[in-house]
Structure 1
Amino acid sequence: MADGRLADPPPARRAGGGHPRDEVEFEAEEYAPRLRLSRRGVLVLGALGAAVLGVLTWVLFLSSVLDVRSVAVQGVQDDRLTADQVRAAIGGVGSGPLARVDLEDARRRVEAIPRVASAEVWRGWPHTLRVKITQRKAVAAVKGEDGRFTQVDAVGVSFATESAAPEGVPVVELQLSQQAKDVEAVITRPQLVQGAVMVAARLPAEVAQRAGAVLVHSYDDIQLQLNGGATVRWGSPEQSDRKARVLVALLHQKGTNFDVSTPDAPAVSG
């Protein structure tokens, strides 16, 4: 070199081209001590695991440590269906260890209550069985020959019969014409009631609250009696969604007689 010092010789390399330090590290890793369990150790750990699992199983499924202590009910909307009625329907299914409660059985029992449309049941650890219900909502009350009123929901399920119709729910009455009576073997009264309920279910809220009655003279002659004396000629249950939209627009006009039986050619008079 120019300054008179000799340069350090390059580190020696093995025939394969590897660095000596790499070889040392490789050998250190190769001969590093490894943790190995004896057969006895494996057996001890397995026994401990089984014991822990057994204790957990006992606590969850057999002991009273995690028993059901309360049934919490959500979704009750009025005093016609109470949380106590829901608890009574569940009965003994909702007792004992929470992990052993048959949730599907509990759900079926709750949904068997006439006023319940659907239910969800789940575990609320550590001690609560939780139930959420959806109540049926009446869209019509069908007046029977005995003067009592059967409440029907939007899917046509009858779920309660009382001496008076619920407030704000139209009453379905059969006032059959002679022609309708003559063909009763073809179009039965239950079918006529079903058609009227379909009409009531399609009414917008602002119209349903004004509709005091749904009068059925025949399958093709259904009328609405609105509060205040106005009458709506509805016709058949067919195209009820379209008829409802047309009626909402017509009600902004002055008149006492509204005709949506042919929704493409509605009329207002009176």
Structure 2
Amino acid sequence: MVDGRLADPLEEELEAEEHAPRLRLSRRGFVVLGVLGAAVVGVLAWVVFFSSLLDVRDVAVQGATDDKLTADQVRAAIGGLGDGPLARVDLDAAQRRIEAIPRVAGAEVWRGWPHTLQVKVTQRKAVAAVKGDDGQFTQMDAAGVSFATEAAPPAGVPVVELRLSQQAKDADGVISRPQLVQGAVAVAAGLPSDVAQRAGALLVHSYDDIELQLSGGATVRWGSPEQNDRKARVLVALLAQKGTNYDVSAPDAPAVSG
């Protein structure tokens, strides 16, 4: 009882806490704690960056889906960068090495703790095969990048052939052969998948005269590699009509004959 009043237990407890002696660290105590903390951080850093406890033990590769680009090829490109502690792997350097593989369009590399280097690759996909003077076929993707040369074109990919008119040959200094090839590849890249599957060849006579040959003997006069999207849509509609010759060179005035 305080001053004739019953004491509140909670007030007594708070008052006792206020008057209780408080634990205070001396300067030496702070120094000791600092040293211990630094030691713990140092040990952790050594474990992560320098010891063999968190070494790379596996390189997991995603996206290498066929025998043209294998996981082993990707691992070989990484080489010694994938050795040692996972934390010390130079991810950017590993990515650059992988993307130097001709069939790789892009790559992502990241750490999969505790022991795995994770890699995801995007393969280049051929939209056209350019027939060379030596009879070999150079595969090119939608960006116009050549990435493989083989004795035969891939299945379902149109073959680009230069059958230049004399006028086109005379204009070689204005529009070069590589530019003509790039134009034909742009046409191939814009073809709808069902049309691309039917495409046998893209014959380049000049910049303004590209001819698409379809399976079954039908031909498509494409014209120049301009308005490709518009021409592709018009061609899909035209193919619903019977004919052997389709003309989308002027997509606003298409024609079917034969």
Equivalent of residue 244 in structure 1, options 228, 232, 253: 232
Letter of the 1:144 counterpart: G
> Taking every aligned residue pair, what percent have the same amino acid on both sides?
80
Equivalent of residue 123 in structure 1, options 100, 111, 115: 111
Q: Residues 219-258 of structure 1 correspond to what in structure 2 (within 5 A)?
A: 219-258=207-246
- With normalisation by structure 2, the TM-score equals 0.93
Kindly indicate whether residue 61 of structure 2 is the aligned counterpart of residue 73 of structure 1: yes
Paired position in structure 2 for 1:174: 162
Q: Residues 150-229 of structure 1 correspond to what in structure 2 (within 5 A)?
A: 150-229=138-217
Kindly indicate whether residue 46 of structure 2 is the aligned counterpart of residue 58 of structure 1: yes
Q: Residues 75-154 of structure 1 correspond to what in structure 2 (within 5 A)?
A: 75-154=63-142
Any unmatched runs of 5+ in structure 1? 1-10, 13-20
Go from structure 1 to structure 2 and tell me whether the alpha carbon gap of 1:236 and 1:69 turns closer, same or farther (over 3 Å shift): same
Q: How many aligned positions are there?
A: 253
- With normalisation by structure 1, the TM-score equals 0.89
Secondary structure class of the residue paired with 1:52 = helix
Q: Deviations over 1:82-125 (max 9, x none)?
A: 11110000000010001000000000000000000000001111
What is the CA distance between 1:230 and its match in structure 2?
A: 0.4
Q: What CA distance in whole angstroms lies between the structure 2 residues aligned with 1:78 and 1:248?
A: 31
Q: What CA distance in whole angstroms lies between the structure 1 residues aligned with 2:50 and 2:65?
A: 36
What is the CA distance between 1:31 and its match in structure 2?
A: 4.0
Letter of the 2:93 counterpart: D
Instruction: Kindly report structure 1 stretches of 4+ aligned residues shifted beyond 3 Å.
Output: 23-35
Q: Deviations over 1:213-250 (max 9, x none)?
A: 00000000001000110000000000001100111111
Paired position in structure 2 for 1:262: 250
Secondary structure class of the residue paired with 2:127 = strand
Secondary structure class of the residue paired with 1:85 = helix
Q: What CA distance in whole angstroms lies between the structure 1 residues aligned with 2:18 and 2:49?
A: 49
What is the CA distance between 1:27 and its match in structure 2?
A: 6.4
> Could you say what the CA RMSD is over the residues aligned between the two structures, in angstroms?
1.9
Letter of the 2:39 counterpart: A
Q: What CA distance in whole angstroms lies between the structure 2 residues aligned with 1:204 and 1:35?
A: 78
Letter of the 1:173 counterpart: E
Go from structure 1 to structure 2 and tell me whether the alpha carbon gap of 1:124 and 1:26 turns closer, same or farther (over 3 Å shift): closer
Larger Rg: 1
Any unmatched runs of 5+ in structure 2? none
Equivalent of residue 33 in structure 2, options 34, 45, 66: 45
